[in-house]
Amino acid sequence: MIRQLLVAALVLAAGAAGATEFLQPPDKVVVDGKSVLVLGRAEQGKPVPITVEAGGKSRTVEADKLPKGRFFAAIALAPGLNRIEIAGKVREVFRTADGLRPPAGFGPLRVHAGTIVRCSDCHLSDMALKGGGFPDVCISCHVIESQNPEFRDDPLADRHFRSAGARCGKCHDPHGAGNPKLLLADTQKLCARCHGDRGTMEGIHPAFEEGSCAACHDPHFSGFPNQLKGRVPEVCAACHDEGTEVSADRV
């Protein structure tokens, strides 16, 4: 019995190692352009056929290979709904056109700033990230002091920055996302991945219930306690000013 379990585990592990990953684009996104960039990862040297269905027609294209099993393809889109399939994994992309409206649940595809236009802007020839990876490759442009001039300390001395902020890819997808700021999910869901217990506390702050963790906290780096955006009571006074039900002078 133990031998059978070990064999099954090895088979599953081998299957997982060779599994094809469909990384980009996200599902159910709307684009204005005539094409969309497809990115993924597959077994090294394995051909990656991409099937595209639109307007009742279907075609298959072959992805271009990159180092370490990565692949990409610029997929031409027909106006309206396009269904892109790789190894059984499907993403739906809607190309805008006059008189056509995307189905419910679709949202815009958000991409990185236009100054980043080539893979080599962030990657080396072997597809490793420049500058040793996160966070250096990102903060070479996203200078921390420019986000909040209150920041004076070394961000790497901050526990939250080292565990989450310094791993930019835990929350952001630099290649494209269906959420603002290239987030992998909405703010509340992202925070709950590590801080899930906060949503079950009694007397929870209304801002959190509204999914507005970032209204008070800075997820990247803060020189203030508890990742607050500023000093207390100033950060509270942004909402609880004089004359409101709970004024900041009582916080």
In a domain? residue 8:
no
Contact 204, 191 (CB under 8 A): no
Tell me, yes or no, whether 123 and 72 share the same domain: no
Q: In this structure, what CATH number is given to the domain that contains residue 94?
A: 2.60.40.10
Residue 28 Cα distances to 3, 33, 92, 149, 177, angstroms: 44, 15, 5, 37, 10
**Structure-model confidence comparison of residues 3 and 129, the more confident one:** 129
Average pLDDT of the chain to the nearest whole number: 79
Range of the domain at 155: 119-250
- Does this model's pTM top 0.75? My answer is no
Note whether residue 216 is domain-resident. Answer: yes
**Which of the pair, 217 or 81, is modelled with greater confidence?**
81
Q: Please tell me the least confidently modeled range out of 34-43, 134-143, 153-162, 236-245.
A: 153-162
% of the chain surpassing 90 pLDDT? 30
* Each residue's pLDDT tens digit, 13-44: 444 456 899 999 999 999 999 999 999 999 88
Task: Name the most confidently modeled range: 116-120, 157-161, 208-212, 239-243.
Answer: 116-120
- With 80 as the cut, is the pLDDT of residue 138 above it? yes
88's CB contacts (< 8 A; 6+ apart) are none
Please state, in angstroms and rounded to a whole number, the distance separating the CA atoms of residues 75 and 153.
45
pLDDT, tens digit, 9 for 90 and up, residues 189-211: 888 888 776 655 555 676 666 66
| 121-20-67 Cα angle (round to 5) | 35
Task: Summarize the confidence of residues 135-149 as an average pLDDT.
Answer: 68
Interior angle at CA 101, CA 95 and CA 107, nearest 5: 65
Residue 12 has pLDDT above 70, yes or no: no
Number of Cβ within 10 Å of residue 194's Cβ equals 12
Shared domain for 83 and 191, answered yes or no, is no
pLDDT at 199: 56
Domain count, the chain: 2
Q: What sign for the dihedral angle of Cα 106, 20, 171, 201?
A: positive
Residues 130 and 183 in one domain: yes
77, 169: one domain: no
Q: What is the pLDDT of residue 250?
A: 46
Is residue 124 domain-shared with residue 245, that is, in the same domain?
yes
| H or E element in which residue 84 lies | strand 80-86
Give the three-state DSSP class for 40. Answer: strand
Question: Where does a domain end: 108, 142, 168?
Answer: 108
